[in-house]
Amino acid sequence: MIESAEVRPETRPLTRDELWASWDPCTKEEREQVFQGSAQISEKLSEMSVEDRIAQRGKDVVNRDELPSDLQPGSSFPRIRSAYEQLAPFDLLSQRLVREGKLKIYEDVINFCTQDPEGKQYKTLWNNTRTSSVKAIGIDTRLRKATEGKEVANRQYKEKNWFGAMYTYAIAWGYLLPYHLDAFSRTDPTRQEFVKLESALFSNISAMALVGAQDQAVKDDMKPGMLHLGLRAAECCISIEDVTVGIMIKSVRRAFDIRTLLNDLKDVVIDGEPVGVLWDPKDVEKDLKFYKAQEKALKGIAPDTFFKDVEPSKKTRRPWLIGMAGTM
């Protein structure tokens, strides 16, 4: 639920309790609020002329003041904060849903790589992160441990230990909890360091999935689940405005390749559903066009440029996913 407003409108760092509360799952009502808000913004976009949409591509083209209050820019902070910046209630909920998507990828990678459908190891890991001693660890130590974990996973990748690498990249991301991108000021250098590391970890998970699924040494019955995780990890990177152009290009390229491979597995069951039932073919077609268009638009831009700093005409939007990116 959207919290009542706090009287003092100043920015401040999140408390430790607020950081952990930022990862609380969204309720059904909150999910519906995000989807409804996304639909209203998409409707506003659809009312614009093609020329206006092209001219404004990559910007927040909708005048939020013309929409319901929950979608308008924030004028105060909630009593329990989940973001450093002052944001609209809709955006705060959308960000929570994105975080929920990241946490679900983390959980599913661990369960998949350990072949533990009951999630016993994940539950142990999650409980360990909530102990007093672990909660007290600061962001600098967490960034260092996550970087060390990434380096271990890189070595596993070179050894073609795809499952080991995917698992270790996920574990490395878990070291960052409970910190998240929205907890930092946009001018904080730690935010840049955080997003570079987080996006690299999810990008590498997608890389392991794509390469591993094409390795003849990997059992065929493992490949669909592997690809599904890789697609979600790639989409996670695509949803982050602060990633580098290099990560964005790799992510849309991998997402295209993974979608194409999954299209050849329409009768294979993932999470109890055939692949062909998981996605509407029309949405798949839109996604494939989006991936290619975004990759083409970014051609020639320095890989270390932040995507948020790229001129709007070079950004391709998917209005039907506004507010829902990262939740696949």
- The structural domains of the chain, with segments of one domain joined by +, span 102-317
Say how far apart CA 121 and CA 67 lie, in whole Å. 45
Average pLDDT over residues 13-28: 92
Asked if 26 and 96 count as a contact pair (C-beta separation under 8 A), the reply is yes
Q: Which two tokens stand for residue 248?
A: 């964005």
Average pLDDT over residues 146-155: 98
pLDDT at 204 over 50: yes
Which residues, including other chains, have CB under 8 Å from residue 237's CB and lie 6 or more apart?
Answer: 199, 202, 203, 206, 243, 247, 248, 250, 251
Ranges 84-88, 109-113, 217-221: which has the least confidence: 84-88
pLDDT at 83 over 70: yes
DSSP code per residue over 34-76: HHHHHHHHHHHHHHS-HHHHHHTTTS--S-GGGS-GGGSPPSS
* Residue 143 C-alpha from the chain's centroid: 18
Question: Which residue's structure tokens are 């975004």?
Answer: 294
Asked if 82 and 309 count as a contact pair (C-beta separation under 8 A), the reply is no
Phi/psi for 37 (5° steps) reads: -65, -40
Residue 162 pLDDT level (bands cut at 50, 70, 90): very high
pLDDT at 36 over 80: no
Say how far apart CA 242 and CA 51 lie, in whole Å. 27
Highest mean pLDDT: which range of 64-68, 89-93, 158-162, 271-275:
158-162
pLDDT at 5 over 60: no
Rg (alpha carbons) of the chain, rounded to whole number: 20
Say how far apart CA 111 and CA 89 lie, in whole Å. 33
3-state secondary structure of 11: coil
